[in-house]
């Protein structure tokens, strides 16, 4: 098991048990964009057929973040720290926020959005923008504002730092949209 972060919070996860997450991730978890995932079922409408299928996007996203953190720690342990601390933060944020763009009934919402956009303005509809990954990536810039000082502890606001910050945001957005960008099924 990986060593817990220096400053961490503990969550009792129904799948992974007691897990530790970096304290700064709770700044994202506490945001309304993330808290709304408590109301979105992981399995869409399946809970109407199987009443016990009530796992939420909230629980799922926290578990994905935890597993991603463990993966980064294992890679760094076995490959001599190939992932920098800030890259690890980007991976954790992408894992935590990958489902922010889900609507009610999860993937069923994507179909409803597609149908609506096709009726309203089909020529402006880009093929993939109707999917939750793109909505999640759009929300990232606003969500990441609360953790910027974790990347840049000093308050110096120079152009290089701003450019690096934009690169980190783009990295997180690309990780979230990865399966759509590279057509992974």
Residue closest to 89 by CA, chosen among 34, 146, 42: 146
Catalytic residue list contains 55: no
End-to-end CA distance of the chain: 30
Instruction: Classify strands 17-22 and 8-13 as parallel, antiparallel or unpaired.
Output: antiparallel
Q: Are 20 and 34 in contact (CB under 8 A)?
A: no
Q: CA 152 to CA 133: how far, in whole Å?
A: 27
Choosing from 60, 98, 102, 132, which is the catalytic residue?
A: 132
Distance, in Å, from the CA atom of 67 to the CA atom of 109, rounded to the nearest integer, reads: 26
Q: How far is residue 129's CA from residue 131's CA, in Å, rounded to a whole number?
A: 5
User: Catalytic amino acids?
Assistant: 132
């Amino acid at each position: 098991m990986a060593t817990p972060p220096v400053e961490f919070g503990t969550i009792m996860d129904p799948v992974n048990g007691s897990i530790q997450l970096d304290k700064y991730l709770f700044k994202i978890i506490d945001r309304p964009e993330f808290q709304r995932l408590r109301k979105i079922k992981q399995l869409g409408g399946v809970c109407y057929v199987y009443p016990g299928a009530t796992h939420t996007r909230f629980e799922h996203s926290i578990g994905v973040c935890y597993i991603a953190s463990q993966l980064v720690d294992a890679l760094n342990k076995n490959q001599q720290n190939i992932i920098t601390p800030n890259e690890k933060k980007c991976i954790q944020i992408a894992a935590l926020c990958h489902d922010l763009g889900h609507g009610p009934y999860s993937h069923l919402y994507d179909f409803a959005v597609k149908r609506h956009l096709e009726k309203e303005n089909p020529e402006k509809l880009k093929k993939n923008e109707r999917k939750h990954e793109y909505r999640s990536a759009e929300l990232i810039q606003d969500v990441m504002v609360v953790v910027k000082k974790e990347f840049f502890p000093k308050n110096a606001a120079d152009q290089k730092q701003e450019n690096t910050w934009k690169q980190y945001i783009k990295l997180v957005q690309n990780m979230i949209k990865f399966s759509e960008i590279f057509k992974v099924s």
